[in-house]
Copies of this chain bind each other. A is one copy, B any other.
Amino acid sequence: MTDSTRQRILDTAEQLFADQGFHATTLRQITREAAVNLAAVNYHHGSKDALILAVFQRRLDELNSDRLARLEAVLNASDPPELEDVLEAFIYPALLLGTQSAGDGGRFMRLLMRAWAENATQLHGTIARQYSHVMRTFADAVSRALGTSPDNLRQQLDFLIGALTYTMAETRDDQVEHTARALIRFGCAGLRDSALAAIPRTSLKENIA
């Protein structure tokens, strides 16, 4: 039962962080709800900041490896991949993670947005570093699916990430399939149309006043 305490702290902390934010959640609240002693957090994790980081690493590793595994499967199936399949490999694991991780829907993604909103010291940097690797890989796959260069793709992918992140928080378990399909379609259309705009330099006058 040695790391049953460790695990219980991790689970309870994740839930409370998602519901109330990192700064607003106190160690006393965590330990009370987890039915462990107050000092257990510092004993097992060192500090509150380290606990936050630990909560994150667990889910983030899960998400990223799931994404990359699915992408690799897609790329192995067909050399120039289908855009829909690439986006699905990126979107679907994220929507799944939100629902299946902590029991209730969308909990973990609220956590991600909090991490980005609050300036947890090392946390933002760690996330960005992890994401930069995955982002590069996916940007590459998308550009191959579109048949264009991956140069101006970062912005459109940011649009997609924003839509995904914002959506995840309010997606219930039974809506995952439907939401994923809608978002994939939405993103594919946006990416394809933006790719068309990148090549010809004509007639973008009356699009904006």
A residues within 8 Å of B by Cβ? 19-21, 23-24, 84-85, 88, 92, 110, 113-114, 116-119, 155-156, 158-167, 170, 177, 179-194, 197, 204, 207-209
Contacts and interface: CB of A to CB of B under 8 A. Distances in A.
Nearest to A189: B193
A158 to B, nearest CB: 6
What 3 pairs between A and B have smallest CB-CB spacing?
A162-B166, A189-B193, A186-B190
Contacts of A158: 163, 166-167, 170
A184 B207 contact: yes
A193 B185 CA distance: 7
A118 B193 contact: no
Contacts of A166: 158-159, 161-163, 165-166
Given A24-B23, A194-B189, A181 B207 contact: yes
Given A84-B208, A162-B164, A185 B189 contact: no
A144 B42 CA distance: 58
29 contacts: A20-B119, A21-B118, A21-B119, A23-B118, A84-B207, A92-B208, A113-B113, A114-B117, A118-B118, A156-B186, A159-B163, A159-B166, A159-B182, A162-B162, A162-B167, A163-B163, A165-B166, A166-B166, A177-B208, A180-B208, A181-B207, A182-B194, A184-B208, A185-B207, A186-B191, A186-B193, A188-B193, A189-B190, A189-B194
Contact of A159 (B20, B167, B194): B167
